[in-house]
Amino acid sequence: MEIDTGMEQEINKAAIAFSLTSALWFALATSMGMVAAGYLIAPDFMANIGWLQFGRIRPIHVNLVLFGFVTPGLLAAAFYYVPKLGRTQLFSQKLGVYNAILWNITIAIGVVTLSAGYTQGREYAELIWPVDMLIVINFALVIVNLVMTVRSRKEPILYVSIWYALAAVVLTATTYCLGNVIWKPSSGALVGIQDAILLWFYGHNIFGLLLTPLSLGVAYYVIPKVTRNPLYSHSLSLVGFWGLLVVYTHIGTHHLLQVPVPTWLKVISIVDSVAMVIPVMVFLINIWYTVKGKVGEIHADVAGKFVFAGTIFYFFVNIQGSMMALPQVQRVTHFNNWVVGHAHLGVLAFAGMTALGGMYYVLPKISGKPLYSHFLADLQYWLVLIGSGGFTVVLTIVGLIQGNAWLNGETVYRVLPAIQIYYVLRVAIGFLILSGAYIGLYNIVRTIFFNPGAKA
């Protein structure tokens, strides 16, 4: 093995562009989330400003987090580790940079159209047809860049992170077309119950076939690097990869257990939701055994601890998810804030923290400059960790209050006074995440553009 200084010679402009994209939209996404949370305390908060209505802000927040913050952050890491693991160069830095520019234009158009009231009204699929098409084009460009990079590799074996990165972008490009019913541009929807089935097939797969594989790819790369340990088992990681593809694709209908969906489909979704424990534990056993004896080192490295915390939250979000698919449990947990807590646990605490870890790991290498401030990155870690944990606890409590009350036949409005205080707490905790997002944006911008500690 050769020794180097931890800095790469080539400046990876594509990865830099995607890192900046992620940091910028993370700040804006959490700002939108704060406005939305404000409405839950004071429903007439900004009531006269049409484009800031709750019904518009909420989908903007969700889409910004999914496609503005987490996905570009994870892709930034992928643009670094795919060529590194293949012992080659990225196919085209120029294509990657144009891709990032188009990505930002797409997200900006999405925000403007949603705030202007143009929506297809389906959860996670609100964006109108032209924006849908732009998203598909963006994913197609990522596919071209990564596949061509893999084709030119010198390392014959594809490390598991490459499998995950390629699967994520290829599967999402196709699932996105299907889930957004792009052959029906005017509505972006089918009619009747089959639309609900299709929507939740897509909706859950945005997490299962995009954020999860990209996050696992980052974890499988960053954890061995930070601990300086080889991966515990590469065979096991491939079992987890194929297991995830087989199992995860069938579970979307567990969102529809209370509606007249064919029973066989519900049974498949419940069985596979529980079976998700297999690929999840395969991943976690593999990663945690790789970390074994190096927990201190992981926590001494800001990127490592972001990613490691992400794996802890991955454990919880999946245990919770398997449990929530059980009909008896769902009688309490469905249609209330429990699910919102679950979503924050998955998207922010698991995939979001992993994306931040991935970016902090690659930033010094892709820019050729040291991280501007380890203190700020550390501060962001604690803000996001406490914020994510606090969010989950508060929203879970609210969900249990709501679910239990409704199960006992209580009307909605009589429950509202009981949960008001938790909504106030939610905003307070949200400020931690908001602060973390802006601190991260500052740190990343300073690292790339105004870095006094830059290497000549």
Partner 1 sequence: MYFPYFIAYMTAGFIISILVFLWALKTGQFKDQQRARFLPLYGDVESEPARTSRLNRIGAYVLFGIVCSGLLASAVFVLFVLIKSSAMNG
Q: Which residues bind partner 1 (CB under 8 A)?
A: 1-6, 81, 84-85, 87, 155-161, 174, 178, 183, 190, 194, 198, 220-221, 224-226, 228, 230-235, 238, 242, 245, 249, 295-301, 304-305, 308-309, 312, 315-316, 319-320, 323, 328-329, 331-332, 385, 389, 396, 400, 404, 407
Complex with partner 1: residue 4 or 44, whichever CB lies closer = 4
Smallest separation (angstroms) from partner 1 to the CB of 6 = 5
Q: What is the nearest approach in angstroms of partner 1 to the Cβ of residue 139?
A: 16
CA distance 259 to 193: 8
The nearest distance, CB 325 to partner 1, in angstroms, is: 13
> Which residues contact residue 113 at a Cβ distance below 8 angstroms, ignoring those fewer than 6 apart?
119, 127, 128, 131
Nearer to partner 1, 133 or 400 (CB): 400
Cβ proximity to partner 1: between 195 and 431 the closer is 195
Q: For residues 375 and 449, which CB has a smaller minimum distance to partner 1 in the complex?
A: 375
Smallest gap from Cβ 229 to partner 1, in A, equals 8
The conformational region for residue 191 under phi > 0 = left, psi -120 to 50 = alpha, else beta, is beta
SS3 string, 423-436, reads: HHHHHHHHHHHHHH
Residue 108 CB, shortest distance to partner 1, in Å, is 30
Scanning 152-276, the segments in alpha helix (DSSP H) are: 160-179, 193-206, 212-227, 234-248, 263-275
Minimum distance between the CB of residue 220 and partner 1, rounded to whole angstroms?
8
CA distance 166 to 203: 20
Cβ atoms 297, 304 nearer than 8 A? yes
In terms of CB distance, is 5 or 48 closer to partner 1? 5
Question: Would you say 84 or 122 has its CB closer to partner 1?
Answer: 84
Contact 393, 358 (CB under 8 A): no
CB of 175 to partner 1, least distance (A): 8
**Cα–Cα separations (whole angstroms), residue 219 to 227, 287, 288, 356:** 12, 8, 11, 11
- Shortest CB 387 distance to partner 1, Å: 13
Contact 126, 114 (CB under 8 A): yes
Largest Cα–Cα distance of the chain, in whole Å?
69
HSE, CB side, 13 Å, CA atoms: give it for residue 94.
0
Q: Are 337 and 395 in contact (CB under 8 A)?
A: yes
Which lies closer to partner 1 via its Cβ, residue 109 or residue 236?
A: 236
Of residues 104 and 311, the one with the C-beta less far from partner 1: 311
Angle between helical axes of 234-248 and 160-179 (0-180°, round to 10) = 10
Residue 226 CA to residue 307 CA, distance in Å, equals 10
Tokens read off for 20? 């900046």
